[in-house]
Amino acid sequence: MRIVLVGAVESTQVALQTLIASGTPPSLVLTLPEDAFARHSDAMDLAPITTNAGIALHHCHDVNARETVETLKAHAPDLILVIGWSQLCKAEFRASARLGCIGFHPSALPSLRGRAVIPWTILTRQEITGSTFFWLDDGIDTGDILLQSRFRLGREETARSLYDKQLEAIKRMLPEVVEQFANGSPQRHAQGEDGISYCARRGPEDGLIDWHAPAADVLTLIRAAGDPYPGAFTTLKGERIVVCEARLFAMSDRYIGLTGQVQTSTASGFVVRCGDSACIEVTGWRSQGGGKPGRHVVLGRD
């Protein structure tokens, strides 16, 4: 069976490695050129893997462009797998595959269709999410479900830990997806109407911390916007400070100060007052200067 894999991020890399390891390598990989890696904070160069495995590689910015579609048709794929590619694949592209065009989405569809799903899963405090392989159609993640699994989120789930759970789901589910097509019996189940929701695109600037928010909301943003994404951040005198790790500070009632003000320094980091008078202790951060903000400075004021 001739498989084409489309994608350009870490999940694509895992899918590619899984296909190779399971003895069903793609005959062609469509991916972004290096000059477009800035589109995704988790972009991956797939060339070393495809070169080593003898797999054809085609770089493109637009999978629906005439040149790309013609390249695809020349490979006469049986199955197209779209994993880690944010552009909608149009009808002509999808029709190039004899058996079907299947996408992967990091949620339990129809919940959380759209973009930036992993951050939004955490920001909306979902208790259960999932992983879905589905038939691509003209809509935004609206196609029939081929295979789906569900799992619970941890109380302190981060973007990185949830992303890793999705990668494990790809490793576990992808061989079964391919096997269904190889056996000539791929499943199709229409998505229900209950629980439909759509996630909007997020950009790096959406990680700006609002210190007037409750401490719990600030901590949620820090967990949702972190690695592999650009991160939650604040500013001090024009310098950006990315907050990588933080926790609720147990002795908030001892400190009186302004919202966003550094109340004290600790062995692990520094303590900042939030909008509900609770404080968080920042234990992981990065900035151009690299130093710890001093006591009593107000973050996010500029």
Q: Number of folded domains in the chain?
A: 2
Please give the model's pTM, rounded to 2 decimal places. Answer: 0.94
Q: Are residues 210 and 158 in the same domain?
A: no
- The reported pLDDT for the residue numbered 100 is 95
Helix (H, G, I), strand (E, B) or coil at 293: coil
**Cα–Cα dist 106/300, whole Å:** 33
Is residue 56 in some structural domain? Answer: yes
How far are the Cα atoms of 39, 53, 223, 245, 302 from residue 216, in angstroms, in the given order?
30, 47, 11, 13, 23
- The reported pLDDT for the residue numbered 129 is 98
Q: Are residues 79 and 108 in the same domain?
A: yes
- The reported pLDDT for the residue numbered 135 is 99
Q: Are residues 157 and 240 in the same domain?
A: no
Q: Are residues 229 and 154 in the same domain?
A: no
Q: Are residues 187 and 209 in the same domain?
A: no
* Sheet of 128-135, strand order: 56-59, 28-31, 3-6, 79-82, 100-105, 128-135, 145-152
Domain endpoint, select from 198, 222, 247: 198
Q: Are residues 191 and 208 in the same domain?
A: no
Is residue 154 in some structural domain? Answer: yes
**Residue span of the structural domain in which 219 resides:** 204-287
Q: Are residues 190 and 216 in the same domain?
A: no
User: What CATH number is attached to the domain comprising 112?
Assistant: 3.40.50.170
Q: Are residues 35 and 183 in the same domain?
A: yes
Domain endpoint, select from 174, 198, 222: 198
Is residue 40 in some structural domain? Answer: yes
Closest CA to 71 of 59, 86, 85, 83: 59
Q: Are residues 150 and 244 in the same domain?
A: no
DSSP 287: E
- The reported pLDDT for the residue numbered 138 is 97
Q: Are residues 49 and 165 in the same domain?
A: yes
- The reported pLDDT for the residue numbered 261 is 99
> Dihedrals φ, ψ of 148, to 5°?
-145, 145
Q: Are residues 93 and 186 in the same domain?
A: yes
- The reported pLDDT for the residue numbered 24 is 98
Q: Are residues 148 and 14 in the same domain?
A: yes
- The reported pLDDT for the residue numbered 35 is 82
Average pLDDT per run of 10 along the chain, which is 302 residues long?
97 99 98 85 93 97 96 96 96 97 99 98 98 98 98 97 98 99 97 96 96 99 97 96 98 97 98 98 94 96 84
